[in-house]
Structure 1
């Protein structure tokens, strides 16, 4: 079947049709014309936008182990509804993804709406002690390695992991936190934490680990990706490292570009996340890092949790939010400070560059990966519209601006109601 997307406004910095109206013809999963005239299925999207398909570098589906929070099927449907054609999952499941059979299980349950990539565990059982069979995991389909939401605290383990993966062409993802400085902390250390009487994590915890890891990287070789950076100093450290020729990349969680530690207000656990929201100064530095290219990608940092994990005293609640379905409304908010086409680049080809996989663009002859958008449509996240198994969103019950109309992933086209 052929598909014609009529009168779409293209936002793709790499496309010859960027910032122009196009009639995108797709045949057998490939873009065959940007000025198509007819197809077996035609949809007029006059006034709506299209970008290349989005790629999320960091999401958690809790499958296997805690499928009541999210499973691969619900997570895939959720990601597609949020505009994603590709998602990379962290290895933090029960059991963790640290063997070939674990990789086969996840890839075998892939639903088809999206393409799933996997972050394999660096250490056995995510315990930070012994390396996994990294080459076997890579052969099984792993695209990168990490310890999920835990840092690679063991310096020797990180050094060996970087050495082993140097020839594989895959990066090590690091959640940069010093486990001793961050122990028993629940938010950013600052004026707000002091006023609330909550033990806070200083940004020093993140910055020390980045400095340590860069020294190890210089010695060992390989590539390191700092996942979900959160402080102004971290942006400066990574920018300097890139200018010095280090093989280093980084991303930021979508909500860290919007919220700060002051969002916590009166002990609202919905704003307890990892890493913690920091100051307005840090948020502005992250925005600047997006603009100047220091930050390569924006990820969802999707962490679904049931009510029993979030509706607790602040220090007992699990850190994390759901964010895939509301990703585009978040981008619309951020577009007041950063042009949409730059934001799209950080969710389209920035993530693909991090993983050393082929970039995508809206061009004749290219495989069709597309996200179709309405920047003005308004909707509310509630029990009727929520597609996640969990409800831990800072947007719950709020009116949102920006709606994903559908995605195209090769021959698979999915249009949202």
Structure 2
């Protein structure tokens, strides 16, 4: 089977065709030519752009255990609508991802267009007390280890985990948060939390754990990845550690590049997040970190919740929002501050580098993993267009600019037949 993508403009800084209009010929899941003429299926994509397919480092598909919020099928559909052909699944399912059978379940049941990459539990039952069988989990297909959205609070366990994974060259993923300081916090601690009468979490909660973990990494070796960094000071600590040539990476969630603690002003629980949105100063520092490369990747931090978990008083609602389907419009919005080609690189090869995977690009002989999108298309996220089982989005019933048209993943695609 051959496919020809005609008159499409390439957005890929690593491609010889960057910013050029080409005809991409794909045969058996491989790009054969950038000047193809005929194929079994041909698509005229004039006015559309193509990039290498997106890779997400952090998404909850809530399967198994909470399939009423999301399952592997609905999560995959949301991911494809957002431009993702690869998605890392967070281990805090029920049961957590801590056995070979758990990993097999996820890989075999997910939709074929999407490649899922399970992140294994670092500790048994995510309690931070005993290590999981890390080598067995890696053999089964786990790409990294984490305790999900909970921090790895046990310093000794973190030290051992870093030492164990040195052999298999995969990162330990840390959600930096001091569980004692952040306990019962509802948003970022600052003038807005004071004004709203909500308990705040200071940036110190993140910064302390980042400081601690950097020192542990210096002692243990291994690779450490900080997920969903939210503070300027935390990012500065990571930047300094990188200059010391430590094996350290970090990502930021797409919503933390757009929203601040001020967004919580009308108590909309869709703006209650984990970690919390911080100040405009923090947001600008994160945007700068994306631009200068201190931040390696942008993730979705897709956290679906049913309405019973969100339509509550702010202090009772669960933190998180869906973000896969609105990810590309969010990039378009952010492109007023960071060039779109840089943003694309942070969701294509940035995540792959974090996981020690080979980069991809649009060129002859390369695997066909592509995202096709329209920069100017307007659409609204609502009950009709939403692919997720949940609707806890700050963009609900909002007109968005920028839409993914299709995803190609080797021999599979969402292009119309």
Name whichever of 280-289 and 107-116 sits farther off: 107-116
Contact 1:404–1:416 (Cα < 8 Å) also in 2: no
Q: For the Cα contact (< 8 Å) 1:405–1:416, is it kept in 2?
A: no
Alpha-carbon contact 1:162-1:220 (below 8 Å) kept: yes
Corresponding residue number in structure 2 for 1:234: 234
Deviation string 1:275-296 (CA, Å, 9 cap, x unpaired) is: 0000000000000000100000
Matched, 1:271 2:271: yes
Displacement of 1:24 after TM fit?
Answer: 0.4
- Residue of structure 2 in register with 1:92 after alignment: 92
Tell me the equivalent position of 1:80.
Answer: 80
Unaligned runs of 5+ in 2: none
Instruction: Give the 5 Å matches for 1:139-288.
Output: 139-288=139-288
- Separation in structure 2 between the aligned mates of residue 95 and residue 105 of structure 1, nearest angstrom: 12
Cross-structure match for 2:20: 20
Q: Which residue matches 1:302?
A: 302
| Matching of residue 124 in structure 1 with residue 132 in structure 2 | no
> Residue in 2 aligned with 1:46?
46
Alpha-carbon distance in 1 for matches of 2:413, 2:387: 18
- Are positions 1:64 and 2:67 aligned together? no
Structure 1 residues 416 and 40 mapped into 2: Cα distance closer, same or farther (>3 Å)?
Answer: closer
Paired position in structure 1 for 2:370: 370
Taking the aligned partners of 1:266 and 1:370, their CA distance within structure 2 comes to 39
Alpha-carbon distance in 1 for matches of 2:104, 2:386: 29
TM, length-normalised to structure 2: 0.99
* Correspondence for 1:361: 361
Give 1:12 shift: 0.4
Q: Give secondary structure in 2 for the equivalent of 1:361.
A: coil
**C-alpha distance in 1 between matches for 2:285 and 2:266:** 26
Segments of structure 1 that go 5 or more residues without pairing to the other structure are none
Task: Give a deviation string over 1:380-414, Cα, whole Å, max 9, x none.
Answer: 00000001000000000010000100011001011
Distance 1:416 1:278, change over 3 A: farther
1:56-108 CA distance string (max 9 Å, x none): 00000010000010001111111011100100000010111111111111112
How far 1:416 moved relative to its partner? 7.3
C-alpha distance in structure 1 between counterparts of 2:241 and 2:21, whole Å? 40
Alpha-carbon distance in 2 for matches of 1:416, 1:218: 51
Q: Report the count of equivalent residues.
A: 417
Residue 267 of structure 1 deviates from its aligned partner by: 1.5
Deviation (angstroms), 1:166:
0.7
Paired position in structure 2 for 1:293 = 293
Matching of residue 115 in structure 1 with residue 76 in structure 2: no
Q: Name the CA distance, whole Å, in 1 between partners of 2:29 and 2:100.
A: 30
Deviations 1:338-388 (A, max 9, x none): 010000000000000000111110010000000001000000000000010
Measure the CA separation in 2 of the matches of 1:182 and 1:359: 37
Q: 1:362 to 1:414 in 2, by over 3 A?
A: same
Deviation at 1:415, TM superposition (A): 2.7
TM-score (normalizing by structure 1): 0.99
- Could you report, residue by residue, the CA deviation over 1:311-357 in whole angstroms, capped at 9, with x for unpaired residues? 00111100000000000000000000001000000000000000011
Aligned residue for 1:113, secondary structure, equals: coil
The SS at the match of 1:415 is coil
Please state whether the residue corresponding to 2:414 is helix, strand or coil: strand
